[in-house]
Structure 1
């Protein structure tokens, strides 16, 4: 299942991802800016699920992905 979220800040990504930390089924969450440009995606793989268990690791993971989107993909997203 793919869940899609339109967000206006990095804190919203963190908030939505925390809902997935106890899921055991396959999942994917796509995050878009208000102009519906894809910012980043997360899946329920082993590394992601492990990092979701800690608030600090979740925030670090989100920050890393948003940095990649901004720097490498050219996403114009205001944090």
Structure 2
């Protein structure tokens, strides 16, 4: 995500909080929990249980997969996977 997208999300959350829009916040939280992104694996990885409690993998080096955002971030931070950027 770009810095602009992140700032836009923060502004939407702050606005919803200030204006008491709890349904919007609940919807946002649910979407964030299930958001998935595409990653390319830099190492072999055994089967994992995703943040959505679904099973993913096992993966071989250079495999590409769509996995929950939360799991992807953990793998990216450890340099086990990298985010695949799509261009239209």
Judge same fold: TM > 0.5, yes or no.
no
Q: TM-score range by the shorter chain?
A: under 0.3
Work out which structure has the larger RCO, using CA pairs closer than 8 Å and 6 or more positions apart in sequence.
Answer: 1
TM-score normalized by structure 2?
0.26
Structure with bigger gyration radius: 2
